[in-house]
Amino acid sequence: MIRLDNVTYGYGATELLSGISVHLQPGSFHFLTGPSGSGKTTLLRLCYSDLTPTSGQVTLFERDAKTLSRDDVARMRRRIGVVHQDCQFLDHLPIAENVALPLATAGRRDEASDLAELLAWVGLSDRAQALPPELSGGERQRAALARAVIMSPDVLIADEPTGNVDWEMSLRLLNLLVELNKMGKTILIATHDLNLIRAAKAQVSARVLRIRDRQIQLAGADL
Amino acid sequence: MSRHSVPALLRANSQADRVVPPSGFTARLTVFSAGAMAFLAVFAMALSFATGRLADRWSQELARTATVRISAPEGQLAAQTAAVLAVLETTPGVAAARALDEAEERALLEPWFGPDLPLDALPIPQLVEIIESAEGFDAEGLRLRLQAEAPGAVLDDHTRWREPLVGAAERIRMLGLLAITLIAATTAAMVSLAANSALAANGQVIRVLRLVGARDSYIARAFVRRFTLRALAGATAGTLLGAIAIALIPKAQTADGFLTGLGFQGAEWLWLLILPPAAATAAFFATRLAAFRSLRKLS
Ligand SMILES: Nc1ncnc2c1ncn2[C@@H]1O[C@H](COP(=O)(O)OP(=O)(O)OP(=O)(O)O)[C@@H](O)[C@H]1O
Ligand SMILES: [Mg+2]
């Protein structure tokens, strides 16, 4: 699905990530962890072609990311749902329209019938007409998750999806993600929360990738 | 391209419209600019039509007639006049030729010299009036033949003093058309600036749309549609006001008055109908260009 081969990236002259190789198999469940500022968000952005690697190759759905046109990238992003760390909404539109935005931009507005169901799934039915700035942090993250899955993507990438919520809500969000994984979606979650990883490991066979010293390591049983 | 043509844009697509937050000030400035430019274009058009009409009238009225002026010593005048008339009779393109009699010549001179002109005492040249046929005659050829037959005869076919007048009118008309072109270019430039400012102000909106998988054409359409409609609305109002202003110019009786001739006649008014769609088209392409250029800079 998503494959990074010997990828190096740096925002300026200094390398943030070097020689990274990761392969996300269809249906797999990965966690990405590491200290703040180690490059988790950066790595995720490489995975949905928001950033282009300095060197190395990113392969998305069997295609070299370098060969994708701008429209190809747009189409590809409909197959990869993303929950961004800072959520990224259109602040002048109500939550319901924000969640349905991927459908609207893809010209598939007629499929918005599942919208109410989806909002109920993330517990936002009564906040559907609120504007994004009027929501709590946790509500925003749940709305972002709903938007990420509305196109029923093959891959779901979530950047700190439980960063702003209490433990109970974290578990609820985790359950949503596990449910999606059981439906066959490939999941990649960046998080600091080791308890969340432990809770997930009890339900699915999740692998844990850790960024350390600009490299990626497969974390063992030490969790 | 067809999905992004002007008529396709005018069909409602409220969702694509709503993804970009409304921007009151740029919107009003765009409408105002398009209106002002259309207003000016109405006057430039009126100028072009008025000078065009003037040039046509001058060339038509003067082209039909010519004059031969014969100055010769007393004794030869009659003989040369007869020779000139004989030449004219056999010249193709001359419908009629007639020597003016004394009374007619007196009438021509009266405005300048008064009624008591002693015509007999002055060496007044004999004038021969020529009426051209529709195809006209070859002035150079006629001039050479006259020279041979009647040395005192001079052909005055009016082209010499008609041409600069018609030339000046044509030049003014060209300037009017140039003004219209400049107005169109300025409209496009102003819409570009407004569109660029809107694109810059909505950087976050564009980023979110890209992240959720919107293609450039979808994002551009939201902006293009807006600016096209604003230019259309502004230009319609401007054209209407310009037309009213032209219609209200007081009409004087003199047919040749250049200032009072400024305006549109009959079907010429219909040309005003192209101004609003022309402004909309200029805005469409200007915004599209600006949108795709700024989108390509983003990831
Ligand atoms: N757009 C950018 N331009 C320059 N530097 C950046 C940019 N984005 C991130 N960085 C830097 O790159 C480093 C890694 O950032 P990144 O966001 O990937 O970290 P992270 O692991 O996600 O951290 P966190 O856990 O706090 O979210 C940080 O030092 C950050 O300051
Ligand atoms: Mg981060």
Residue A131 located in a structural domain: no
Task: Give the pairing of strands A29-33 and A207-212.
Answer: parallel
**Structure confidence at residue B2 (pLDDT):** 43
The sheet carrying A155-159 orders its strands as A80-83, A155-159, A186-190, A29-33, A207-212, A215-218
Residue ranges of the alpha helices (H) in A58-166?
Answer: 70-77, 95-105, 115-121, 137-149
Distance A141 CA to ligand 2 centre (A): 14
**Structure confidence at residue B108 (pLDDT):** 77
Distance A42 CA to ligand 2 centre (A): 7
Taking 80 as the threshold, does the pLDDT of residue B260 lie above it? no
Cross-strand bridge partners of residue A187 = A29, A156
Q: Please, which contacts does B158-162 make with residues 24 or more away whose CB atoms are closer than 8 Å?
A: B158/B62, B158/B63, B158/B65, B158/B66, B158/B67, B162/B58, B162/B59, B162/B62, B162/B63
Strand boundaries in chain B, DSSP class E: 65-70, 94-99, 126-132, 153-156
Residue A128 located in a structural domain: no
**Structure confidence at residue B1 (pLDDT):** 41
Cα Rg of chain A (Å, integer): 17
Residue A100 located in a structural domain: no
Both tokens assigned to A8: 């190096």
C-alpha distances out from residue B260 to B17, B167, B168, B180, B249, Å: 47, 21, 18, 21, 8
Residue A28 located in a structural domain: yes
Q: Domain total for chain A?
A: 1
Average pLDDT, consecutive stretches of 10 residues, N- to C-terminus, chain A (223 residues): 93 90 94 93 94 94 93 93 91 94 84 82 92 92 93 94 86 90 95 92 92 85 51
Both tokens assigned to A50: 């928001």
Q: What are phi and psi of A217, to 5 degrees?
A: -125, 150
Query: Mutate which of A101, A103, A150 to test chain B, going by most B C-beta atoms within 10 A?
Result: A101
At A151-179, the pLDDT tens digits run 989 999 999 998 878 898 899 889 989 99
Q: In Å, how far is B189's CA from the nearest CA of chain A?
A: 27
User: Which residue range is the domain that position A206 belongs to?
Assistant: 2-79+153-218
Task: Give the pairing of strands A17-24 and A29-33.
Answer: unpaired
At A4-29, the pLDDT tens digits run 999 999 998 889 999 999 999 999 99
**Structure confidence at residue A182 (pLDDT):** 94
- In this complex, the residue of B205, B207, B216 whose CB is nearest that of residue A70 is B216
Q: Is A14 exposed, middle or buried (0-12, 13-18, 19+ CB in 10 A)?
A: exposed
Report residue B255's pLDDT band, with 50, 70 and 90 as the boundaries.
Answer: low
Instruction: Look at A88 and B15 and tell me if their CB atoms are within 8 Å.
Output: no
| 3-state SS track over B103-136 | HHHHHHHHHHHCCCCCHHHCCCCEEEEEEECCCC
Chain A residues in contact with B298 by the CB 8 A cut-off are none
Report residue B299's pLDDT band, with 50, 70 and 90 as the boundaries.
Answer: low
Amino acid making up residue B206: I
Distance A33 CA to ligand 2 centre (A): 10
Taking 80 as the threshold, does the pLDDT of residue B204 lie above it? yes
- Mapped onto helix, strand or coil, the DSSP state of residue A110 is helix
Query: How much is the pTM?
Result: 0.76
Cα angle: A185, vertex A188, A189; to 5 degrees: 130
CA A98 from chain centre, in angstroms, equals: 17
CATH classification of the domain holding A69: 3.40.50.300
At B116-153, the pLDDT tens digits run 767 667 777 888 888 888 777 888 888 888 888 888 88
